[in-house]
Amino acid sequence: MATSPQQATATGTAADKEIEQFDVVVIGAGVTGLYALYRMRELGFSVKVLDEASGVGGTWYWARYPGCRFDSESYSYGYSFSEELLQEWDWKEHYSGQPENERYLNYVADKFDLRPNIRFNTRVASAVYDDEENRWQVEAKDGWKVKGQFLITAVGLLSAGYIPDFEGINSFKGPWCHTGRWPKEGMDLAGKRVGVVGTGATAVQLIPMIAPEVAHLTVFQRTANFCAPLRNGPIDADTMNEIKANYPEIFRICSETAGSFMHEFDQRSAMEVSEEERLEQYEELWQKPGFAKWLSNFRDVMVPGEANEDYAEFVRNKIRERVHDPVVAEMLVPKDHTFGAKRVPCETGYYDAYNRDNVLLVDVRKAPIECITPTGIKTADAEYDLDVIIYATGYDAVTGALLNIDIHGQGGQTLREKFVDGPRTYLGISSVGFPNLFTVNAASVGNFVRAAEPLMDWVSECISYIRDNGYTRITPTLEAEDAWVKHVNEDGENILRTKTTSWFVGANIPGKARALLTAPDTAPAMRNKRAEVAANNYEGFVLE
């Protein structure tokens, strides 16, 4: 293995001379890919990172729609690996917006001189493992190739945008886009008749931002969501100094909570306390910013049952209070799923947008979208004339971006075929028949960077272990993989995330197998599991 961090390894056959070789190839220059590059280079590996975008940032590069911002506290989301970085960077808002987040990731790339190792404008088409060479050959859409002993797919959890296969979609004469691929030059919406399809976390951020600007906005809603006020605000210099002094405590709290957020559940049961106390607590949480009203609640609000329904009704009433027209209010009140089973979108002015004269809410559960016409959207009972259509219709989550790459493992088997009934991995990151492949995009849910950093630490230590102990290849055992899949499926049944149709279980994509796409474990439990595996000389893996 190479020891010169910046250079390609000079191995390979004569025929491959022109194909550059690296110890590690990373797909994706988002939050995880940038950190993978930093760590691998620090450990002395040669690394090449590939990204389709022309700049760093991943999600924070592509999702430029108005209103796009963190739902996690900015200072809990940033990298923790560099004290210098923590002390240098001033977050401007408690829940920072896409432009600042992209600036932050660019700042990181410059500070640690990461760009020389990244090939931008490179859409990866395939990755093929050569058993004899023990190398992954990665090929871009433009035919450019690179080889790596290890392949890390840092392709993101929510990066493969999904647009329903509506009949006539390409016949629409006006501009249209998916929110996850918002044009860099922006969309001209001023004075236009705009349609937004979808009312998930993305649409909830977008709608109040564009409603005052457009001539008319039609929102096509299939499922109402439980949304909670974000209560964002600026961070002044004194507060930022306090945050900087408090980073160890912030990261300690995140390291102990289930989803790595700064919010801890109240260990009491909602039903144990008096109604007065319960309502007082609900109200207090409601006034707090961010996810507090979800993740600092009574512990039994997070499981289906009486407490969950009690709180759900509290939230429904909050929605009813905000929306003036009682018919529209009832359309916005979720009645078909439990609170917390779907990701709770945080909003700023979302419900108030429906009090505007130029905003119309259309129920496409009752009258589904039949087709897109050259001039708008046709539902089962009406036609809506539009100048612009925005699809806030979500993502083919976790496996989508991974399986968009044609990945061939040992014996030519493809990951696409292997995952046809849902992901088959060990610990979410490694799969039998695909040696030295780390599918890190599949392995974290929650406060993303808090999960990505320790995961990449584990992967980089694993690769160092392989190098330092004279091994060249790692692959899980079939027993370990089977046991992990069984654990995900069986224990997944006990968590709220599997109780509804959402991206968490692939249920938002027609034809996708229903399976929990991430681990059912809490973040601390996952870290402990991985640590135990490493401490036992990578138990469950075969090292060759």
Structural contact between residues 532 and 427, judged by C-beta atoms closer than 8 angstroms: no
- Could you tell me the end-to-end alpha-carbon distance of the chain, in angstroms, rounded to an integer? 15
Of 395, 419, 438, 541, which one interacts with ligand NAP (CB under 6 A)?
395
Q: Which is nearer to ligand NAP, 407 or 449 (CB)?
A: 449
154 binds ligand NAP (CB under 6 A): no
Q: Which residues contact 220 (CB under 8 A, 6 or more apart)?
A: 195, 196, 197, 198, 362, 364, 369, 377, 379
263 binds ligand NAP (CB under 6 A): no
The site map against ligand NAP for 208-247 (x = CB under 6 A) is ------------x-xx------------------------
Question: Judged by CB under 6 A, which of 8, 369, 386, 526 binds ligand NAP?
Answer: 369
Nearer to ligand NAP by Cβ, of 104 and 434: the residue is 104
3-state secondary structure 269-287: CCCCCCHHHHHHHHHHHHC
Query: Per-residue DSSP letters for 154-171?
Result: ---SS-SB-----BTGGG
CB of 392 to ligand NAP, least distance (A): 6
- The C-alpha torsion from 360 through 363 and 367 to 370, rounded to 10°, is 70
Give the separation between CA 44 and CA 47, rounded to whole angstroms.
9
Nearer to ligand NAP, 346 or 403 (CB): 346
Using CB under 6 A as the binding rule, whether residue 503 contacts ligand NAP is answered as yes
343 binds ligand NAP (CB under 6 A): yes
CB of 509 to ligand NAP, least distance (A): 9
* Per-residue contact string for residues 178-197; x = within reach of ligand NAP by CB under 6 A: -------------------x
With contacts defined by CB under 6 A, how many residues of the chain interact with ligand NAP?
25
Name the closest residue to ligand NAP (Cβ).
200
Does residue 9 bind ligand NAP (CB under 6 A)? no
Q: Which of 29, 36, 40, 158 binds ligand NAP (CB under 6 A)?
A: 158
Alpha-carbon gap, residue 36 to 42, rounded angstroms? 10
Residue whose C-alpha is closest to residue 398's, from 486, 515, 489: 515
> To the nearest 10°, the Cα dihedral for 218, 222, 227, 229?
0
Phi, psi angles (nearest 5°) of residue 23: -65, -45
The least CB distance from residue 282 to ligand NAP, in Å, is 23
DSSP-assigned letter for residue 444? -
The answer to whether residue 65 forms part of the interface with ligand NAP (CB under 6 A) is: no
Residue 145 binds ligand NAP (CB under 6 A)? no
- Looking at beta carbons only, is 377 or 455 nearer to ligand NAP? 377
Give the whole-angstrom CA distance, residue 113 versus residue 396.
32
Q: Is 541 a residue that touches ligand NAP (CB under 6 A)?
A: no
Q: How many CB atoms are located within 10 Å of the residue 324 CB?
A: 11
Tell me 183's DSSP state.
Answer: -
Q: Of 153 and 202, which has the nearer Cβ to ligand NAP?
A: 202
150 CB-side CA count, 13 A: 31
Instruction: Pick from 24, 152, 201, 462 the residue near ligand NAP by CB under 6 A.
Output: 201
Residues in contact with ligand NAP by the rule CB under 6 A? 69-71, 158, 164, 197-203, 205, 220, 222-223, 343, 364, 369, 392-395, 503, 508
